[in-house]
Structure 1
Amino acid sequence: MDLAAASLAPLPGGHSGQTFLAEVAGERSVVRVYAESGPRGAAAAEVDAALLRLVRGLLPVPEVLELRRADPASGMPALLVTSYLPGVRCDLLLPDLDETGRRALGTRLGVLVADLGGMPQLGDGPFVDADLRVGTWERPEGLPELVADTRPELVAVADDAQALLDTVTRRVLVHGDLTPGNLLVDPDTLAVTGLVDWELAHAGHPFADLGSLLRFERDPVLTTAVLQGYAARRGTDPATALALAGAADLVALVELASRPGRHPDAERAERLLRAVARAGDPGAWTDPG
């Protein structure tokens, strides 16, 4: 792709790179610039490309069009060019859907999460290179160890959550940020057209992505449909799936709440963690605002 001839406009989203909508001769694509050091370091672009190639055809993800590795000599950062996916962000679409629409979309989201949770991995940890080798976490592996020093009020509930999580021993491909903001939906058919921003993907617990999806969402119509869609694919009782999802999402909630500054999602995570601590239940709920 000739980036010099492309018209570039910033796109929202992303954690470690800058993302742009590119257009050349009427053809659209998405360009991600890896100018900053993220959790995957220098391998970030290659890992992202490998993940998209791995799941394309199984999940609605963009096609990798071009990968340019960083050139330290010239100071050029790595670039990843992918196809442009149509659709409206799910978080923007949901408030306008009626009950029938929320039920239909929820079912589709449950199936998508179940499909992702069926892609097995041999270990648990971050992806470290283009071969998608699994490394080791720098953080403590268990929930009780994670919260012991910084959030002692959560130790008891973390013990119970870890015991529940340990009943499921397999490991799968986890998107790591499967929230409505990273999902694209056709507003007419409500088909899921895209799952984007794979920067936090890793090998982990099968219910982690279900926890991410339902983290700030408790609309009964949507939640029930998600759990029923998941159950239809995986056979897991909806109540059990919801309990496992809440337990699996505790790690992400703790890390999200620790973000510096007044990040809106960090404040929402903090409010949820306080509710969890008060109730002694990882599935406890309060309106996070």
Structure 2
Amino acid sequence: MADITAKRVKELRDMTGLGMMECKKALTETGGDIKAAEDLLRIKSGAKASKAAGRVAAEGMVAAYITPDGKSGALVEVNCETDFVARNEDFIGFVRDLAQLAATKNLADTEALASAALPSGENVDAFREALVMRLGENISLRRFARHVTQGHLASYLHGAKIGVMVDYTGGDQTLGKDLAMHIAASKPICVSTEQVSPELLARERQIYTAQAAESGKPADIVTKMVDGRVVKYLAEVTLLGQPFVKNPDQTVEKLLTAKSAKVNGFTLFIVGEGIEKKTGDFAAEVMAQVNQAKEDNTSQPN
């Protein structure tokens, strides 16, 4: 059995990024075998990740990366449970690495992303699980979008909570940045009216029809009222129909025409959008964490 020295514990800590006590305990359990201890910590990391997986992760960050040639780029959203972890440097670095990976590799989905290798060579999901163990929170790769263009790409991050990537043709870099900032501020759902889903449009029309019917006006007037509301709705939710944020007297469509430019597509990610956030008693949550820690300690072999 090898001596479990402070130097050996530090070596394992450098390899895994985990705490000194966790590393010392793993070395003790494996008779000082550093490779076996690393494997043990990876196994425990996976077990801890599965325990955390059921907890709601609605915080996190969005990262963007565009390749040096400007022809491909990606947005990535990774979630965690608290804003505290979202500000952790290791978490931030992980998300940024994922954005670079997603931009440079043609990956089908988040499962493929999780199976890929980071720039360091380490497996993405193995790194994620180690991060879960180190930071003590559920961390999930929620989504990513990759853009490949024959034109230009521009991105904009509002802090780390809102991210935009826009694919456009014509214009210049300033236009691209302005478009990305506009999308972050005005949050269109698509580029043009033709891209609005028929189901969504039918639902809005049904609501407007019910509202207009309450006015008691003749059917032909009601129809005109509904048609007017639909036109207004389409202008609000489509990029081309929206007033440009830097010049509300001009629509984005007119701005693009003036610049001889065209938007081919865009992606907008808002951290935690659509995830039902848990609300509860803070004191009860703290006690639950204390009890979980006691349970973890009692389940360890003596």
- Flag the structure with higher helix content: 2
TM-score by length of structure 2 reads: 0.25
Radius of gyration: which is bigger?
Answer: 2
TM-score of the superposed pair, with normalisation by structure 1: 0.25
